[in-house]
């Protein structure tokens, strides 16, 4: 036990033993040392007329020195050393607790840094909180965007807790109003206790974290301190996800604006990019691409025709058949698209796919005449989706064929225009539609 000093161990220390023996020799007496159970730890058996002197550590008797009156000095000495030993132990205990805290925060921030999902961060925080603080329920709630409501992000519930019914939410509001954590023990004489603290970054309150227990236990300031430490870490991480979200929103809005630009210019292509994206994503999924690859598919498909902005209206919007020269101009749009998108760092990965979406599997496409696997997979996917949509949507320069005819046409061009694997995946999906 940390808050106890073992007498036997204390006098077993070589330096303590030496001091005691030296004193005994100097004052020329013999003593015996007994523990609380009366076992002799040191010295000989008691003699008639011997006195008993208690050894007290932290006001508690831990043993006895037996001997003549001078033996009292040994009792005082051992009491003093014992008390120092106890102080030392308590300091060590305090330091070890600090070590625990440091490690908790270190691990927590390390774990949280590996994710940008608010849900995931909340889960990590709650798992850590419930691991360290005895609880039957834990939850994190954050303000909605308009800051009017609190929305539960994650809840961990070990038992069916009754907290909602006994009105813990009133206390949550109080915590939010006052901006400091609270301990609520045995709320309204129920068996429910709770620790709740705000998730704050600087002076902005993002929400609350609370843990509760419905088994008649009481929380203390240690628990609140721990929860506060976890809350601080979680709040910073959650705030980062907000920043990340807003950057991502801006990015997606920029993409939307770009698509809108080309659609405004060429009303015939309105909706085309979005449909190609839908087809391309389903091909990608059929091919087993992972989430981040699918995101690239989506972006590349949405933006594949963006280069058409750079084509003169009289050519792009021409109703009649294009001359050879005009067709050569139209063929520049994949390169234009790549050049436009190169300016956006986050789109670097999709640039080759946009540039390559008019390449052909047999190498007879444009702009680079790449063939087979040289063409980025996403470009090969978009080629199929693009062709299908061109044949099935109403565009003035192409007659409206039936879906079946379009598929036949694509099938006919396997290995020449299209990648057979991509076409196979597409046909598989089309059947499902």
Partner 1 sequence: MCKKILIVDDEPHIRMLLEQTLEDFEEEGVQILVAENGKEALEYIKAEKPNLVYLDVMMPHINGFDVCNIVKNELKINDLYIVLLTAKGQEFDRKRGLEVGADLYLTKPFDPDLIVEKTEEVLKIKL
The site for partner 1 (CB under 8 A) is made up of 2, 88-89, 92-93, 95-96, 98-100, 102-103, 106
Question: What is the C-alpha end-to-end distance of the chain, expressed in Å?
Answer: 70
Cβ closer to partner 1: 97 or 346? 97
Of the two residues 93 and 159, which places its CB atom closer to partner 1 in the complex? 93
Pairing of strands 150-157, 137-143: antiparallel
Closer Cβ to partner 1, 70 or 89, answer by number: 89
Distinct helix (H) and strand (E) counts, the chain: 15, 9
- Residue 354 near residue 304 (C-beta atoms within 8 A): yes
Q: Which residue has the tokens 């206390």?
A: 171
Closest contact distance (angstroms) between CB of 158 and partner 1 is 21
Residue 314: both structure tokens together: 């009289």
3-state SS, residue 388: helix
CA dihedral angle for residue 301, residue 306, residue 311, residue 317, rounded to 10 degrees: 70
Q: Which is nearer to partner 1, 230 or 341 (CB)?
A: 230
Distance CA 354, CA 376 (A): 9
Q: Which is nearer to partner 1, 106 or 397 (CB)?
A: 106
Contact (CB, 8 A) for 371 and 401:
no
Residues 6+ apart with CB under 8 A from 361: 371, 372, 375, 380, 414, 415, 416, 417, 418, 419, 420
Would you say 85 or 285 has its CB closer to partner 1?
85
Least gap, CB of 376 to partner 1 (angstroms): 38
Rounded least distance, CB 374 to partner 1, Å: 40
* DSSP 8-state secondary structure symbol assigned to residue 212: E
| Residue closer to partner 1, measured from CB, 13 or 264 | 13
- In the block, residue with structure tokens 């598919």: 297
Q: Is 55 helix (H, G, I), strand (E, B) or coil?
A: strand
**Least CB distance to partner 1 at residue 4 (A):** 11
In the block, tokens 């000093």 appear at 5
Q: Residue 143: what are its φ and ψ, rounded to 5°? A: -70, 145
CB of 124 to partner 1, least distance (A): 17
Rounded least distance, CB 225 to partner 1, Å: 17
Nearest to partner 1 of 57, 262 (CB atom): 57
Q: Which of residues 3 and 345 has its CB atom nearest to partner 1 in the complex?
A: 3
CA separation (Å) from 215 to 127, 159, 219?
Answer: 19, 10, 11
Residue 261: both structure tokens together: 């630009």
DSSP lists the bridge partners of residue 414 as: 418
Sign for the CA dihedral angle at 338, 342, 344, 346 comes to: positive
């Amino acid at each position: 036990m940390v808050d106890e000093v073992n007498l036997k161990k204390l006098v077993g220390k070589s330096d303590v033993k030496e001091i005691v023996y030296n004193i005994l020799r100097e004052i020329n007496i013999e003593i015996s040392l007994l523990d609380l159970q009366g076992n002799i730890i040191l010295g000989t058996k008691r003699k008639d007329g011997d006195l008993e002197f208690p050894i007290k550590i932290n006001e508690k008797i831990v043993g006895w020195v037996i001997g003549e009156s001078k033996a009292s000095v040994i009792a005082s000495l051992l009491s003093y050393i014992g008390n120092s030993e106890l102080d030392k132990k308590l300091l060590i205990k305090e330091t070890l607790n600090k070590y625990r805290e440091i490690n908790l925060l270190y691990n927590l921030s390390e774990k949280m840094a590996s994710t940008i999902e608010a849900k995931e961060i909340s889960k990590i925080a709650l798992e850590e909180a419930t691991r360290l603080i005895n609880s039957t329920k834990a939850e994190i709630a954050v303000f909605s965007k308009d800051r009017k409501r609190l929305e539960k992000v994650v809840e961990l519930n070990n038992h069916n807790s009754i907290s909602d019914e006994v009105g813990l939410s009133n206390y949550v509001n109080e915590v939010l109003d006052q901006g400091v954590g609270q301990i609520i023990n045995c709320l309204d004489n129920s068996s429910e206790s709770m620790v709740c603290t705000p998730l704050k970054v600087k002076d902005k309150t993002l929400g609350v974290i609370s843990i509760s227990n419905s088994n008649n236990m009481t929380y203390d300031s240690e628990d609140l301190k721990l929860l506060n430490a976890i809350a601080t870490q979680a709040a910073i991480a959650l705030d980062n996800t907000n920043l990340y979200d807003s950057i991502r929103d801006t990015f997606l809005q920029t993409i939307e604006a770009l698509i809108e630009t080309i659609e405004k210019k060429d009303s015939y292509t309105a909706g085309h990019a979005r449909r190609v994206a839908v087809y391309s994503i389903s091909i990608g999924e059929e091919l087993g691409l992972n989430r981040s690859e699918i995101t690239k598919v989506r972006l590349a498909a949405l933006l594949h025709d963006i280069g058409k902005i750079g084509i003169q209206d009289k050519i792009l919007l021409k109703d009649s058949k294009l001359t050879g020269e005009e067709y050569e101009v139209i063929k520049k749009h994949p390169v234009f698209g790549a050049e436009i998108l190169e300016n956006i760092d986050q789109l670097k990965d999709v640039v080759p796919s946009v540039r390559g979406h008019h390449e052909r599997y047999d190498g007879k496409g444009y702009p680079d005449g790449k063939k087979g696997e040289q063409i980025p997979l996403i470009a090969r996917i978009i080629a199929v989706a693009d062709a299908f949509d061109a044949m099935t949507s109403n565009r003035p320069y192409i007659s409206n064929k039936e879906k079946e005819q379009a598929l036949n046409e694509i099938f006919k061009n396997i290995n020449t225009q299209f990648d057979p694997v991509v076409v196979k995946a597409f046909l598989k999906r089309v059947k499902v539609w």
